[in-house]
Amino acid sequence: MNPLVSCILITYNSEKFLETFFASLVEQKDTSIELIVIDNNSSDDSVKCAKEILKGFNAAKKMSVIESVVWIENSNNLGYSGAAEQGVKESHGEYILIANPDIVMEPDYCCRLVERLDADKKIASVSGKLLRFDFAKYFKTGRLADGKTQTIDSSGLVISKSRRCVDRGQGLPDDGRYNVIEEVFGVTGACPLYRKSALIDAQVGGHVFDPEFFMYKEDVDIAWRLRLVGYTSWYIPDAVAFHGRGTGAIERESVSSVIKNRAKLPAFTRQHSYRNERIMRLRNEFVTHVINNFAHILLREVQMFGWIVLREPSLLKSFFQFITKIPKTIKERRELFKKAKIVRGEISKWFI
């Protein structure tokens, strides 16, 4: 019998993406799915549209992989983290798939990831090769093939000595360089599969996902915490999915490319990303690692703060928000490090 996968779909004005997402979900092979749809107070018809699509699939007898459906309609927008936290608490599956609505999965995506988790109880999270999906082209023709690209969206998370964490290969061509199953620092939040028991082991302050993060960096935060409590994360290239990514899949391999493309990101994204990254680092860092990589960290912080003062003064608000969160974060840090199982050297190797 296939293990139950709880698929948490978080929607916010996502009506235009739902047909493609559900079409790929019901085609998943060798998988039993508990579907949990959480709407963050959409102003469009996301919930109505989702119910009509699933009703149509049910009438066509295409819902065999979905064992049950749970609907949660929030009266306020809780963000990705708040909704993901709701979904984890509601879930009953051994494994949890958290999916963005702009994801299109190949039919064997879930079963290939489940197979890897089944093989090793120390693996907490897995993700496949995510490629970019071009919805603009898809909407013109209505053919999925026209939306599928060979541009990498994510092949796992990598983190540098300066603590800059990015999706490996994002914006680069899928030319075979990421075709090997391998352990990675963590997996991106677009379509990861988690072991639920590992998420519970890594929670702090009673939360798996920090509700105050709202969105951005929550995937890096949970990846870091899972490592601290003794788990690993893996990238499975044979499991393929496509991601629309509202902010676009930009090339992030160099500092110059980040600066060039930064203006494309909404201010909302930059503000939450800046604040959340600093909370995450305070919560998860070994002090000795900060000392060892101090020059790299300091250089990036000085550069970033100079950039804020000269080019993005709106981020000063995020900096002061981080300052106010320090007492709470230190309390969570103490809780986390009491159950940490990893030795310092095992995590420092990921800072490249």
pLDDT in tens, 321-352: 999 999 999 999 999 999 999 877 789 999 99
pLDDT (tens digit per residue) in 30-83: 999 999 999 999 999 999 999 999 999 999 999 999 999 999 999 999 999 999
pLDDT score at 249: 40
Query: 106 and 47 in one domain?
Result: yes
Q: Residue 244 pLDDT > 80, yes or no?
A: yes
* Domain-located, residue 40: yes
Q: Name the domain count of the chain.
A: 2
Query: 105 and 192 in one domain?
Result: yes
pLDDT score at 266: 65
Q: Residue 265 pLDDT > 80, yes or no?
A: no
Contact indicator for 231, 123 with CB cutoff of 8 Å: yes
Q: Residue 119 pLDDT > 80, yes or no?
A: yes
Quick one: average pLDDT of 286-310? 93
Q: Residue 113 pLDDT > 50, yes or no?
A: yes
* Domain-located, residue 333: yes
- Categorize the per-residue pLDDT at 130 as very low, low, confident or very high, splitting at 50, 70 and 90: very high
Q: Which residues constitute the domain of residue 336?
A: 256-348
Q: Residue 5 pLDDT > 90, yes or no?
A: yes
Mean pLDDT, all residues of the chain: 92
pLDDT score at 342: 82
What is the percentage of the chain residues whose pLDDT exceeds 90? 84
Query: 143 and 204 in one domain?
Result: yes
Q: Residue 96 pLDDT > 70, yes or no?
A: yes
Query: 218 and 263 in one domain?
Result: no
DSSP letter for each residue of 50-108: HHHHHHHHHHTT--TTEEEEEEEE-SS--HHHHHHHHHHHH--SSEEEEE-TTEEE-TT
* Domain-located, residue 47: yes
Query: 265 and 215 in one domain?
Result: no
pLDDT score at 272: 84
Q: How far is the C-alpha of 250 from the C-alpha of 257, rounded, in Å?
A: 8
Residue 323 token pair = 């300052």
Q: Residue 157 pLDDT > 90, yes or no?
A: yes
Give the CATH number, domain containing residue 23. Answer: 3.90.550.10
pLDDT score at 256: 52
Quick one: average pLDDT of 24-35? 97
* Domain-located, residue 323: yes
Query: 42 and 177 in one domain?
Result: yes
Last residue of a domain, one of 176, 210, 243: 243
Instruction: Extract the runs of DSSP E, i.e. beta strands, from 155-263.
Output: 157-159, 165-167, 182-184, 193-195, 232-243
pLDDT score at 258: 53
Query: 284 and 226 in one domain?
Result: no
HEC states along 100-143?
CCCEEECCCHHHHHHHHHHHCCCEEEEEEEEEEECHHHHHHHCC
Query: 264 and 221 in one domain?
Result: no
Q: Residue 201 pLDDT > 60, yes or no?
A: yes
Query: 283 and 224 in one domain?
Result: no
pLDDT score at 269: 76
Query: 230 and 124 in one domain?
Result: yes
* Domain-located, residue 249: no
Q: Which residues pair with 103 in a beta bridge?
A: 243
Residue 349 CB coordination number (10 Å): 8
Q: How far is the C-alpha of 287 from the C-alpha of 104, rounded, in Å?
A: 41
Last residue of a domain, one of 243, 273, 305: 243
The CA-based angle 124-126-130, given to 5 degrees, is: 155
* Domain-located, residue 248: no
pLDDT score at 18: 97
Query: 130 and 263 in one domain?
Result: no
Q: Residue 261 pLDDT > 60, yes or no?
A: no
pLDDT score at 250: 44
* Domain-located, residue 310: yes
* Domain-located, residue 76: yes
Q: Residue 128 pLDDT > 80, yes or no?
A: yes
Last residue of a domain, one of 243, 272, 288: 243
Query: 213 and 95 in one domain?
Result: yes
pLDDT score at 309: 87
